Every structure is written in C-alpha cells, then in structure tokens.
Amino acid sequence: MRLGIFVGCFFAVWGLVRLRVLPAGLGDSNLMWVVLLALVISAPLSFVLLRKQRDEMSVQISGRVEGAKDRLAANRSQEDAADDAARAGS
C-alpha cells in the first residue's frame, strides 16, 4: 500500500512538473527531483492514511510474540521437569 501511495504521488508530481505548476529540476536532474518530491509527499501521507493497517499489524505481531513466549515457557517447564526427574532417579 505504501508503494501504491508513492507511485500515485510520483505521477501527480510528474504531471505537475510537466504542466509547469512545480519547478523542474536543474539540467538532467528532473527525474531525481520528481522522485525526491514524491518521497517527501508520500511519507506523511502513508503515515496518516495507513494508520489503521499499521495498528492492526502491530496487534497481530504482538499476538504472535506472546504465543511464541508461551510456547517457549512451556518447553522450558517440560525440560525442567525432565531434568528434575532424571536427577531424582540418580
């Protein structure tokens, strides 16, 4: 989605430069100017427009991390129980 926002900004900036609404770059730097301006515009747009998706993804990731921590704790307790049983049998 972030790439889509950047591409949209790129074509919008490119169109505005071609219509001479925005200044063109110096010499042969026109493409670099359009790319940099599109990056500067798309970054805050992505931050605002993709907030909901970013929040949903963080909830999913935190759920996965908690699940991994629970599985690791369960594995540790199984290993501790097996180790305790082996020491008790010795």
Q: Would you state the pLDDT for residue 31?
A: 87
Rounded Cα gap, residues 65 and 6, in angstroms = 31
Contact 2, 46 (CB under 8 A): yes
CA distance 62 to 75: 20
Q: What value does the mean pLDDT take over residues 7-25? A: 89
Angle at 29 between CA 23 and CA 33, to 5 degrees: 55
**What confidence category does residue 77 fall into, taking pLDDT thresholds of 50, 70 and 90?**
confident
Domain ranges within the chain, ordered by starting residue: 1-49, 51-90
Q: Is the pTM here over 0.75, yes or no?
A: no
Average pLDDT over residues 30-35: 89
Cβ-contact 53, 5 below 8 angstroms: no
State percent of the chain over pLDDT 70: 88
